[in-house]
Amino acid sequence: MNKIKKLAFGNDHAAAEVRNTVKEYLTSIGYEIEDFGFEGEGVCDYPDYAVKVAEAVLHGKAEKGILICGTGIGMCISANKVHGIIAAPCWDEDTAALAAQHNRADILCLGSRKATVSELCHRIRIWLETSFEARHEARILKIKEIEKRQ
Ligand code: RB5
């Protein structure tokens, strides 16, 4: 049984084609999705979607967040601007697991132009099902200290 239930989801235009498949997959394995993503035609700006997902997680409207743009990079940079949020990039199964295990990432950022939709789904599932290792806690606290100094 999944421990986390509610996920905030966001995407930009680069992930408009994969968004529904990813959401349907996550729903099929038991997650509830709050969708903040772009579903129109044309283009949009990824920071607008990253901030919605990051603030939803920060304020407890969702337990974790998923952001997908072309590379995952712009979403990751933007989400990390929200103090209190740790967003991690992910480019394979290993970094999906490590983002949970070592970094306790609140949000996983993925690139739709860098993976197939089934790879994206698989990586998200690995991240969701991997536990944080407490031995990394001191490093996370140091990240929070950096935020307090700003
Ligand atoms: C949009 O073309 C692209 O720049 C965006 O999806 C993302 O990859 C940015 O990091």
Predicted confidence (pLDDT) per residue in 20-71, tens digit: 999 999 999 999 999 999 998 999 999 999 999 999 999 999 999 999 999 9
If one counts every other C-beta atom within 10 angstroms of the C-beta of residue 119, the result is: 15
The string of pLDDT tens digits covering residues 99-146 is: 999 999 999 999 999 999 999 999 999 999 999 999 999 999 999 999
* Residue to substitute in 11, 12, 78 for testing ligand 1 pocket (most ligand atoms within 8 angstroms of CB): 12
Residue 4 confidence (pLDDT):
79
Output the pLDDT for position 1.
46
Q: Following DSSP, what letter does each residue of 40-91 receive, concatenated?
A: SSS---HHHHHHHHHHHHHTTSSSEEEEEESSSHHHHHHHTTSTT--EEE--
Indicate which residue's Cα is closest to atom 3 of ligand 1.
70
Q: Output the CA 145–ligand 1 centroid distance in Å.
A: 30
